[in-house]
A and B are shown apart, each in its own frame.
Chain A
Amino acid sequence: MLDTNNDASRRALLWRLAGLGAGLAAAVLLAGAPASWLGRGLALAAPAFALCLLAGVTAGELTARVPAGATRTASLEVRTTRSFLPRRMARWVAGLLVLAAAFFTATGLAADTDDMGRAGRSLTAACGDLVSSTGPWPGRFYSVPIALAVLLGLGAAGFAMRTVVGRGRPVVDGAGRAADDEGRRTSARAILAACGVLVAAPLAGSALFAAGALGRVDCPSALYPAAQWAALAVAAVAGFSACVFTAYAVRPGTR
């Protein structure tokens, strides 16, 4: 039986909400991970939320029923990702990705081994003859798992987007097509919002920890306060973005 637009959008909404619920549960579980995880659970809470949301969106699209009547019609249109992706939002996510790459590269270069020998978890500041070490610092101890989660999430988002573009049209008349296109745009916004949370939330948390560590460096050099303000600015931008993208992830139909 052919799906009507209402059936399809209701099913997509239910799957998206299921993904959202699972994502929140996973994020809460990871955020409350044992202390022995040294904050890695907290760093991976947002990527877990985004991955579950992406799974929900993909499941909603995959469960759209295929045309099964005796006579089937299709228009000779070429649907592309660009047709459904909100451009401003996509540019915003891309900007955050660049910012995250630059931030984690910089913190990775400045990172050092902590007192327990864990590489990339502490900031060592040489101030004249005095060498001090402070942490936790978002070096590769944190940035590698975050980067792996982000890459996994981006791959999942790519697959979800392909599913949104490629699934069959339930109807071919003008009004039905417009409603179907709107449903696909909503799914595309949910996917982008998940990508936004995926990148922005760990970046905001890491930047806050970096600012805290930089604030504890006891050195008269102007470099550390400047770096601390820069980290706070990154945290503010990423934190604001994470809030906006979370709102979009919950209600992707809004503009």
Chain B
Amino acid sequence: MSAQLRVDTTSPVPPYEQIRAQLAHLITQGALPARERLPPVRQLAADLGLAVGTVARAYRELELAGLVTSRRGGGTRVADMVRPAPAQHPVEQLATAYVTAARRLGASDDQVLTAVHKMLQAG
């Protein structure tokens, strides 16, 4: 079963950023290995019911970040030089998941930190 992307169109985070963040996470965590081919822009846009330009922008940002490479006729692939991020402490993994989910909801950094402080004080 291949990895899945989820886009929430009601989120204040633009859809292209949601796609970019999820793909970047999958690549840096090693879930998508080097040279793995990503779906064509048109196909992914059709599957998500989004405009082609939205997915194209996400791919472009990933390319600028050096995470993927695009070649005419060869599609978009995970870049060779991407090294999976070093193994995280379990607490860091939980924090990563929390921050990702909160950002997907459109929370600001202050709101994320405030919520953590509140939970720490309550516990």
Residues of A bordering B, CB below 8 Å: 66-68, 70-79, 165-169, 172, 174
Contacts and interface: CB of A to CB of B under 8 A. Distances in A.
A73 to B, nearest CB: 5
Interface of B: 1-10, 26, 32, 37-40, 42-44, 46-50, 75
B5 A71 contact: no
A165 to B, nearest CB: 7
Contact of A75 (B3, B7, B37, B40): B3
Contacts of B38: 76, 78
Given A66-B46, A169-B47, A174-B1, A73 B6 contact: yes
Nearest to A80: B40
7 contacts: A72-B49, A73-B7, A76-B2, A76-B26, A78-B39, A166-B43, A168-B47
B40 A78 contact: yes
A122 to B, nearest CB: 46
Given A78-B37, A78-B75, A71 B46 contact: no
A255 B72 CA distance: 36
A71 B4 contact: no
Contact of B43 (A66, A71, A79, A174): A79
Contact of A166 (B5, B6, B46): B46
A151 to B, nearest CB: 23
Interface of B: prevailing SS: mixed
Nearest to A172: B4
A67 B37 CA distance: 23
Interface of A: prevailing SS: loop
A67 B51 CA distance: 12
Contacts of A79: 39, 43
Contacts of B1: 75, 174
Contacts of A73: 4-7, 48
Contacts of A72: 6-7, 9, 47-50
Contacts of A75: 1-5, 47
A68 B8 CA distance: 11
B37 to A, nearest CB: 5
B48 A71 contact: no
Contacts of B75: 78
Instruction: Pick from A72, A76, A79, A172 the residue with the most CB of B within 10 Å.
Output: A76
Nearest to B26: A76
Nearest to B15: A72
Contacts of B42: 166
Contacts of A167: 46
A103 B8 CA distance: 57
Given A75-B1, A78-B75, A168 B46 contact: yes
Contacts of B2: 75-77
A29 B46 CA distance: 38
A34 B95 CA distance: 79
Contacts of B26: 76
Contacts of B48: 67, 72-74, 168
B108 to A, nearest CB: 22
Contacts of A74: 4-5, 7, 39, 44, 47-48
Which 9 A-B pairs have CB atoms at the shortest separation, nearest pair first?
A: A67-B49, A74-B47, A168-B46, A66-B49, A168-B47, A75-B2, A70-B10, A76-B3, A72-B48
